[in-house]
């Protein structure tokens, strides 16, 4: 089986369409290398901020005592770096923190609010970075 046939089947495209798309991507890359690099960099920036925010938020929910200041710092860094408003996430984190009594099961409603605010924050990061 040829390479083109293999990848066109994987992409669920006709072979000629796969080749045409590959050629157009190749032409775009070589005719606009700075734009290609800039687009990739934007996506990498969104992924980096997203992973950083998610991992710090999950660490906070596991160990609020040690991660509270770290998470607030990350939220502030993302807000400043991307000019975003993550106040919904910050408010959810503050509510969780202020009601922390050592029992995570008692705070499941606050954890659900953090999860929802985190999803909104991630969507805002991706939208912001890709529309710059």
pLDDT at 20: 75
Mean pLDDT on 56-81 = 92
- Terminal alpha carbon distance of the chain: 42
pLDDT at 39: 62
User: What pLDDT digit, counting tens, does each position of 5-33 carry?
Assistant: 777 787 777 877 777 777 777 666 667 66
pLDDT at 85: 95
The answer, yes or no, to whether residue 75 has pLDDT greater than 80, is yes
Alpha carbon distance 103, 105 (integer Å):
6
The answer, yes or no, to whether residue 47 has pLDDT greater than 90, is no
CB neighbour list of residue 78: distance below 8 Å, 6 or more residues apart? 49, 52, 53, 84, 86, 121, 125
The answer, yes or no, to whether residue 72 has pLDDT greater than 90, is yes
Angle (nearest 5°) at CA 40 between 43 and 34: 140
User: What pLDDT digit, counting tens, does each position of 78-130 carry?
Assistant: 999 889 999 999 999 999 999 887 777 778 888 899 999 999 999 999 888 87
pLDDT at 57: 94
- The answer to which of 53-57, 60-64, 98-102 has the lowest mean pLDDT is 98-102
Alpha carbon distance 59, 41 (integer Å):
27
């Amino acid at each position: 089986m040829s390479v083109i046939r293999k990848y066109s089947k994987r992409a669920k495209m006709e072979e000629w369409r796969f080749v045409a798309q590959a050629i157009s991507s190749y032409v775009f890359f070589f005719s606009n290398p700075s734009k290609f690099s800039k687009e990739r960099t934007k996506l990498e920036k969104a992924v980096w901020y997203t992973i950083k925010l998610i991992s710090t938020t999950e660490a906070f929910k596991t160990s609020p005592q040690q991660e509270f200041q770290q998470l607030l710092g990350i939220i502030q860094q993302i807000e400043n770096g991307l000019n975003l408003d993550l106040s919904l996430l910050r408010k959810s984190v503050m509510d969780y923190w202020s009601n922390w009594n050592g029992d995570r099961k008692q705070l499941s409603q606050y954890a659900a609010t953090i999860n929802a605010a985190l999803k909104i924050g991630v969507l805002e990061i991706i939208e912001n970075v890709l529309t710059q």
